[in-house]
Structure 1
Amino acid sequence: MTETTTQTTGLEAVTAMDEAAVRRNDRAYVFHSWSAQAKIDPLPIASAEGSYFTDYEGRRYLDFSSQLVNVNIGYQHPRLVTAIQEQAARLTTISPAFANDARSEAARMIVEVAPATMDKVFFTNGGADANENAVRMARLHTGRQKVLAAYRSYHGATAGAITLTGDPRRWGSEPAQPGVVHYWGPYLYRSAFHATTQEQECERALQHLRDTLMVEGAHTVAAIILETVVGTNGILVPPDGYLAGVREICDEHGIVMIADEVMSGFGRCGEWFAIDHWGVAPDLISFAKGVNSGYVPIGGVVISGDIAATFDDTSYPGGLTYSGHPLACASAVASMTIFKDEGILENARHLGSVIGPELEALAADHPSVGETRGLGVFWALELVKDRETREPLVPYNAAGAAAGPMNEFAAACKERGLWPFTHFNRTHVVPPCTTTEAEVREGLAVLDEALKVADSYSTGS
């Protein structure tokens, strides 16, 4: 008689783990990003569906963070999960040197929804290496080395991308790579230009950019990179005319315009790409997690015809083992198909028409709210101690006890079943693009209660 041996995948031990085991292994073996390891205690998550995730005690949280502002299609979308399973059964991996149907179709679909000047897609593993490669392309295309990047920006944590970044996450990696010059972008509420209207802010921010180019030497600058709508650093929506003005400046000096849409793209602002809201066509667009909601790691650069032509007869000196990975590309194809079939862009725009007025109503009731701003499902409330002076609720880059008021506010949200996205003195309202209006109102009602914590620190009227 032949003995039958049942082989397992090894996942049985994983699925059998309880919360205590997850915490124990995490503490013992996992090194977490952006964290002092001894001071954190990550919450173990057991499952997720739609706009909610659930811990091991069965408590559900309405996700107003979309994790890292990327779960645009919601958790465990059945069609997207099935597409990944079907692709895994058919072809799990293949070198970028080969043509692959999933990669080719994903590229075609992305180019189809990009501005008309865009012709090709170079796939990466995520947003940081997308920005790294965008800058490399710009430098090779122009033969120049300098890159202008904005303060109050985040472009990734690899060596080049963190150099581009204009917030404190860059500090620990300095001295940084040479050739990057930072400039101030528009932000009327805390204007670097002493502007009092959006029109003034736009005009003065563009003049500042021109002045920076003058003293740096525009002929030495390869690219200007910007987040179309600034993400983690405050959901800073540019004033009308600003992006068109940057485009004009780039054209005038032969500079490549790079739009970082890693966070703002694929429905987050109610469009395929946020830049469509202003009808401007950059030379390069970096994208990543939003294209497939992070179900499988993916990123990329959408490339204009002019820049792609630079490499028709000259090799592009860059590549990644997982560039255009079949599982990732199949998930991107499925995600974009779902976006079209289920009207997700339209839902994002509708949610924006709900969130905006409701946040204004919250601002009227809570003295801790200094300003609200956003588009689609990409919004922020700026929390202050005093509306008149605009003193932030917590200092810039606050940590420890100095961050207490924001930590208390976040805890109040979580106690009520809402998971917020907070950064410095802001809370962001960035649920999945598939969230229902009823779910949005549920979350806003929690914010209404939690803001009373922030109000208790208010010193103004």
Structure 2
Amino acid sequence: MLPQIVETPPGPKSLDLARRLSASECAGITYMAPDGSFPVFWESAYGSNVWDVDGNRYIDFTAAFGVAACGHRHPALVEAACHQIHSLLHGMGDVHPSRAKVDLLDALTAVVPRPLGHAILGQNGSDAVEAALKAAYLHTKRSGIIAFVGGYHGLSGFALGCTSAGKFREPFSPYLTDNVTFLSFPRRTCARDNHDEMSLNRALSAVRQRLSDKYLPPVGAILVEPIQARGGIVVPPDGFLRGLRELCDGVRTVLICDEIFTGFGRTGEWFACQHEGVIPDLMAVGKALTGGFPLSATLMTPEVAASWPKSPGEAIHTSTFLGHPVACAVGASSIKLMQTLAIPLRAARGGDRLMQRLRRAFSGSPAVNEVRGRGMLVGVTMTNGRYGEPPFQVVNRTVTAAMRRGLLILPCGANGDTVSITPPITTSEAQLDHGVEILADAIAEAVT
């Protein structure tokens, strides 16, 4: 369905909930615009539509942070959740596991590239990255880590230590490890010159230099997103992942691919590393794994998995909700659904249409610097406003203007200069086209 606005967002019910939430939640969590123009409060969602508490209907170009790849509240996932809730709501994942945990791991290891056949489950992306970094150290006994500027890997512990943005790091800097080296992430361009090759060579040369530096802790892991999602939908030049893989081969350094956002078909392959035929030593997945329940996983090769000591009765890495039965049941159903719907193929085809539509809409626009992405992971980068306002201000105004028109989008990028477009992969052509029209109108309003 297309949008339907019955109360100018945010409506009175959203405003009342904002007042109540502000009174009870820590102010550092949910953004509340000082003028009351943001956010709206969701009431329900289905497919590619979201309804707020005032009855407004939106097209969702966020898929709720990329989670709802098959659409919100897909009947197959709801049925799986309800069935599991009626039989076993909670289990003891590392003591007396549930059947659902085994079914989930069977389904998961069937779709990941071999030899990634062993897993540790978590509840979110940070959990998956934390487990991957622990596994890397157990396997290599090396504490040095290479991560990349613009990379986002979560906000807890080791994961925060590998996330480059100062706004997340600085408040907690005394707790963060100093064993992480941040290197430049190369950026693919549309220019017909040798910029991509030069960018690629510089990036790989910097990695090579760090690997050979004898004055810093030896590098045990290279942690990389195949495409930087929250960092601005930054696609590296072809050959970057292959180059990292080659630099890791033959030395005691593992390659970790953070596929939390890019995994499960979002970019047109089951996993974005497959665009270059690269198989990492470890891979972190989450978000679209369940389509709506907290669940993540760290996949690893048999060699890395063998570095973990066999559990003597109490695991050295676990949690109360590890392998939660309901999340696992929904995850297994979600993977089957993605296979049935041919989600990677739909993302490739839908992404081509979306990219063409966006580039046509903004061709020659002074407000838009670039449209980039892969599959249904797309970014629209903005320029300065008409009166010299920085791009992040233009993006923020665009997000609010689009919301008032019935389109949900998010900002992204290290400087907040990019509109992130990650709709459910099942979004219809009519919804995609209408969403692009709303986005164009919102940008026109934002720059005037």
Is TM more than 0.5 here? yes
Which residue pairs with 2:7 in the alignment? none
In structure 2, do the counterparts of structure 1 residues 60 and 370 end up closer, same or farther at CA, with 3 Å as the change threshold?
A: same
Which residue pairs with 2:339 in the alignment? 340
Which residue pairs with 1:65 in the alignment? 62
> How far 1:51 moved relative to its partner?
0.6
CA–CA separation in structure 2 for the residues paired with 1:50 and 1:277: 28
CA–CA separation in structure 1 for the residues paired with 2:147 and 2:200: 17
Which residue pairs with 1:49 in the alignment? 46
Which residue identity is paired with 1:371? Answer: E
Which residue pairs with 2:26 in the alignment? 31
Render the CA deviation track for 1:277-332: whole Å, top value 9, x for unaligned: 21100000011121012x21111101111101223657662111111111110010
Give the structure-2-normalised TM-score: 0.89
CA–CA separation in structure 2 for the residues paired with 1:250 and 1:377: 30
Q: Which runs of 4+ in 1 moved over 6 A?
A: none
CA–CA separation in structure 2 for the residues paired with 1:443 and 1:156: 29
In structure 2, do the counterparts of structure 1 residues 417 and 24 end up closer, same or farther at CA, with 3 Å as the change threshold?
A: same
Residue 163 (1) aligns with residue 158 (2): no
In structure 2, do the counterparts of structure 1 residues 427 and 20 end up closer, same or farther at CA, with 3 Å as the change threshold?
A: closer
Which residue pairs with 1:121 in the alignment? 119
2:434 corresponds to which of 439, 442, 451: 442
Which residue identity is paired with 1:384? Answer: T
1:214 corresponds to which of 212, 215, 221: 212
In structure 2, do the counterparts of structure 1 residues 42 and 31 end up closer, same or farther at CA, with 3 Å as the change threshold?
A: farther
Q: For residues 140-155 of structure 1, what are the structure 2 equivalents within 5 Å?
A: 140-155=138-153
> How far 1:408 moved relative to its partner?
1.9
Render the CA deviation track for 1:135-171: whole Å, top value 9, x for unaligned: 0110011111111111101100112111100113222
Residue 425 (1) aligns with residue 417 (2): yes
> How far 1:357 moved relative to its partner?
1.4
Which residue identity is paired with 1:131? Answer: V
Which residue identity is paired with 1:115? Answer: P
CA–CA separation in structure 1 for the residues paired with 2:194 and 2:379: 20
> Is the contact made by 1:292 and 1:331 (CA closer than 8 Å) also made in structure 2?
yes
Return the structure number with greater relative CO, CA threshold 8 A, min gap 6.
Answer: 2
> How far 1:394 moved relative to its partner?
2.3
**Structure 1 gaps, min length 5:** 1-16, 387-391, 396-402, 457-461
Render the CA deviation track for 1:369-400: whole Å, top value 9, x for unaligned: 111111111000111139xxxxx9626xxxxx
> How far 1:257 moved relative to its partner?
0.4
Secondary structure of 1:75's counterpart equals: coil
> Is the contact made by 1:285 and 1:301 (CA closer than 8 Å) also made in structure 2?
yes
**Structure 2 gaps, min length 5:** 1-11
Render the CA deviation track for 1:221-272: whole Å, top value 9, x for unaligned: 1100011111111111121111000001111322010000111111211222
Residue 85 (1) aligns with residue 77 (2): no
Which residue pairs with 2:402 in the alignment? 413
Which residue pairs with 1:203 in the alignment? 201
1:22 corresponds to which of 9, 17, 29: 17
Give % identity. 29
Which residue pairs with 1:399 in the alignment? none
> Is the contact made by 1:218 and 1:253 (CA closer than 8 Å) also made in structure 2?
no
CA–CA separation in structure 1 for the residues paired with 2:102 and 2:389: 48
CA–CA separation in structure 1 for the residues paired with 2:428 and 2:32: 37
Which residue pairs with 2:179 in the alignment? 179
CA–CA separation in structure 2 for the residues paired with 1:34 and 1:146: 32
Query: What is the aligned length?
Result: 426
> Is the contact made by 1:119 and 1:308 (CA closer than 8 Å) also made in structure 2?
no
1:276 corresponds to which of 274, 277, 300: 274
> Is the contact made by 1:155 and 1:164 (CA closer than 8 Å) also made in structure 2?
yes
> How far 1:438 moved relative to its partner?
1.4
In structure 2, do the counterparts of structure 1 residues 244 and 165 end up closer, same or farther at CA, with 3 Å as the change threshold?
A: same
2:293 corresponds to which of 293, 296, 302: 296
Residue 310 (1) aligns with residue 307 (2): yes
Secondary structure of 1:445's counterpart equals: helix
Q: For the aligned residues, what is the CA RMSD?
A: 2.6
In structure 2, do the counterparts of structure 1 residues 394 and 20 end up closer, same or farther at CA, with 3 Å as the change threshold?
A: closer
Which residue identity is paired with 1:29? Answer: S
Secondary structure of 1:118's counterpart equals: coil
CA–CA separation in structure 2 for the residues paired with 1:24 and 1:86: 37
> How far 1:415 moved relative to its partner?
1.9
> Is the contact made by 2:188 and 2:236 (CA closer than 8 Å) also made in structure 1?
no
Larger deviation: 256-265 or 92-101? 92-101
> Is the contact made by 1:412 and 1:453 (CA closer than 8 Å) also made in structure 2?
yes
In structure 2, do the counterparts of structure 1 residues 374 and 50 end up closer, same or farther at CA, with 3 Å as the change threshold?
A: same
Larger deviation: 88-97 or 206-215? 206-215
Secondary structure of 2:85's counterpart equals: helix
> Is the contact made by 1:383 and 1:393 (CA closer than 8 Å) also made in structure 2?
no
Residue 224 (1) aligns with residue 222 (2): yes
In structure 2, do the counterparts of structure 1 residues 45 and 36 end up closer, same or farther at CA, with 3 Å as the change threshold?
A: closer
> Is the contact made by 1:394 and 1:406 (CA closer than 8 Å) also made in structure 2?
no
CA–CA separation in structure 2 for the residues paired with 1:268 and 1:182: 26
Secondary structure of 2:199's counterpart equals: helix
Q: For residues 363-442 of structure 1, what are the structure 2 equivalents within 5 Å?
A: 363-385=362-384, 394=390, 403-423=392-412, 424-442=416-434
